[in-house]
DNA sequence: TATTGTTATACTCTATAACTATA
DNA sequence: TATAGTTATAGAGTATAACAATA
């Protein structure tokens, strides 16, 4: 690639690359350089890849990672209200309303008026929600986490999760 | 995020969970349960935390992680066109236009018409771009990556990056 | 007065189709 | 015909203010 002189003169030339000596870099993909050592960069790329694989595996059940986490949390903590579940997952309460609308309209969970505090909605899984979640867990374990375990080795996978949890907790 | 930091940092997460979480913890935060073992979950939470820290450290230079990665890639691979840089970073070409508009309007980089193919724009850093990037690198190394290294230990930090890169590459 | 769920809204990211100018 | 950069646009995800019902 040659640069027109009048335009190029506006910037300091970063060492003219000899056309023939441009060797590998002319037709090969760009070099990541220091980007490859940046934790945030590999973290983001890995997260996108993992979510992509999660969605692929979960296609038959049509559950996003966020929806799956909501169902898991309600199952483990039945009777909690929207504020509690949302804040545990780092979801803003207004945004959680739409998420719940979706899950409830699919018959996976219900909002029940609390008798002790009539402002709050107690969250519970339906039978269908429990059944769907059980199928989802099996899919995730058998096709998603298993694939990661195969790629990294199970002990490394566990170490990885613990390091990530530590970052989320303590950074 | 409603994660209590000071307390959580002192407590090693117990792998054993009480059988019925609902009864015992009416006033405690909900139990994450199986969520804590899901790689995708800790991956996402860690990624948000790391980007948050990056933005905090980068406040004086007003560079997002994405903008920083673009500047790094242009510095390392001067003379590449928009399509090459964007696709290397996993950015859609239409979205890259706005990003470049922003960086170019701040005088950090320039688009030059290629003489060999007048359709494409060759990307280069300006002097200001190089200076800003150098300051940014120093901030990231001294305040951001150093903090992660302190948290995990440098050798663990390197291992973590390599595992994440492997996921991004091979999953 | 404070809190729960909700509505409205806005801003960022991301994804796709289609246009233009070049090849 | 195909490609590079661009425009327009639409869909997620996320953040904040404010309101009604309830405490």
Q: Rounded to 5 degrees, what are φ and ψ at B85?
A: -65, -45
The number of angstroms, rounded, from the C-alpha of A97 to the middle of its chain's C-alpha atoms is 20
Mean pLDDT (chain B, rounded) = 88
Q: What confidence tens digit (pLDDT) does each residue in B36-73 have? A: 999 999 999 999 999 999 999 999 999 999 999 999 99
CB of B123 within 8 A of CB of B109? yes
Can you tell me whether residue B111 is helix, strand or coil? strand
Tokens 């840089």 — which residue? B85
Please tell me the least confidently modeled range out of A73-82, A134-143, B3-12, B41-50. B3-12
A53 in Cβ contact with A144 (< 8 Å): yes
List Cβ neighbours of A141 (8 Å cut-off, separation of 6 or more): none
Percent of chain B, pLDDT > 90?
82
Q: What is the distance of C-alpha A17 from the center of its chain?
A: 41
Residues of chain B contacting residue A145, judged by C-beta atoms under 8 Å apart? 38-39
Length of chain A: 171
Q: pLDDT-derived band of residue B7, with 50, 70 and 90 as boundaries? A: very low
Predicted confidence band of residue A19 (pLDDT cuts 50, 70, 90): very low
**For residue B6, what pLDDT band results from cuts at 50, 70 and 90?**
very low
CATH of B63-171, one of 1.10.1060.10, 2.60.40.10, 1.50.10.10, 1.10.10.10: 1.10.10.10
CB contact under 8 Å between A33 and B75, yes or no, is yes
Asked if A156's CB is within 8 angstroms of B163's CB, the reply is: yes
Confidence of residue B1 (pLDDT cuts 50, 70, 90): very low
| H helices present in A13-126, as ranges | 39-57, 65-76, 82-88, 93-105
How far is Cα B63 from Cα B56, in angstroms, rounded to an integer? 10
- For CA atoms B63, B92, B86, B116, give the dihedral sign: negative
Dist CA B105 CA A126 (whole Å): 54
d(Cα B102, Cα A50) in Å, to the nearest integer? 30
**pLDDT value at position A10?**
35
Closest in A14, A48, A76 to B33, CB measured = A76
Confidence of residue B145 (pLDDT cuts 50, 70, 90): very high
The string of pLDDT tens digits covering residues A65-121 is 999 999 999 999 999 999 999 999 999 999 999 999 999 999 999 999 999 999 999
Q: Nucleotides on strand C with an atom closer than 7 A to protein CB?
A: 3-9, 13-18, 21-23
Select the residue of B9, B36, B166 nearest A170 (Cβ to Cβ): B9
Confidence of residue A29 (pLDDT cuts 50, 70, 90): confident
CA–C1' A132–D4 (A): 46
Listed residue (B133, B105, B131, B109) closest to B121, CA to CA: B109
Lowest average pLDDT, out of B18-22, B103-107, B142-146, goes to B18-22
Cβ distance of A72 and B33 shorter than 8 Å: yes
Mean pLDDT of A44-51: 98
Q: Please state the rounded mean pLDDT for residues B85-113.
A: 98
Q: Assign B26 a pLDDT band (cuts: 50, 70, 90).
A: low
Residues in chain B: 171
Check CB contact of A137 with chain B, cutoff 8 Å: yes
Report d(CA B115, CA B117) in Å as an integer.
Answer: 6
Hey, what are B5's tokens? 């930091």
Q: Quick one: which H or E segment has residue A111?
A: strand A109-113
* CA-derived radius of gyration, chain B: 21
Count of A-B CB contacts under 8 Å: 235
* Tokens 């070099």, residue located: A31
Residues B153, A38 contacting (CB under 8 angstroms): no
pLDDT, tens only, B152-162:
999 999 999 99
Q: Is A160 helix (H, G, I), strand (E, B) or coil?
A: helix
Q: Chain A residues with CB inside 8 Å of B6's CB?
A: none
> Closest residue by Cα to the C1' atom of nucleotide C16?
B94
Q: What residues of chain B, 10 to 29, have a C-beta less than 8 Å from chain A? A: 13, 21-22, 29
Q: Which CATH number fits domain A64-170: 3.40.50.300, 1.10.3720.10, 1.10.10.10, 2.40.40.20?
A: 1.10.10.10
The encoded tokens of residue A25 equal 């870099």
């Amino acid at each position: 690639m040659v640069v027109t002189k009048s335009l190029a003169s506006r910037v300091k030339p970063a060492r003219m690359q000899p056309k023939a000596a441009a060797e590998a870099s002319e037709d090969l993909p760009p070099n990541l350089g220091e980007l490859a050592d940046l934790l945030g960069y590999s973290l983001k790329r890995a997260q996108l890849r993992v979510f992509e694989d999660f969605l692929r595996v979960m296609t038959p059940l049509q559950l996003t990672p966020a929806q799956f986490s909501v169902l898991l949390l309600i199952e483990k903590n039945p009777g909690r209200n929207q504020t509690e579940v949302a804040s545990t997952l780092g979801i803003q309460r207004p945004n959680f309303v739409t998420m719940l609308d979706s899950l409830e309209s699919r018959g996976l969970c219900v909002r029940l008026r609390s008798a002790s505090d009539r402002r709050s909605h107690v969250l519970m899984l339906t039978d269908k929600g429990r059944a769907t979640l059980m199928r989802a867990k099996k899919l995730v374990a058998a096709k998603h986490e298993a694939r990661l375990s195969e790629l990294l080795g199970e002990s490394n996978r566990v170490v990885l999760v613990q390091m990530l949890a530590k970052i989320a907790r303590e950074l």
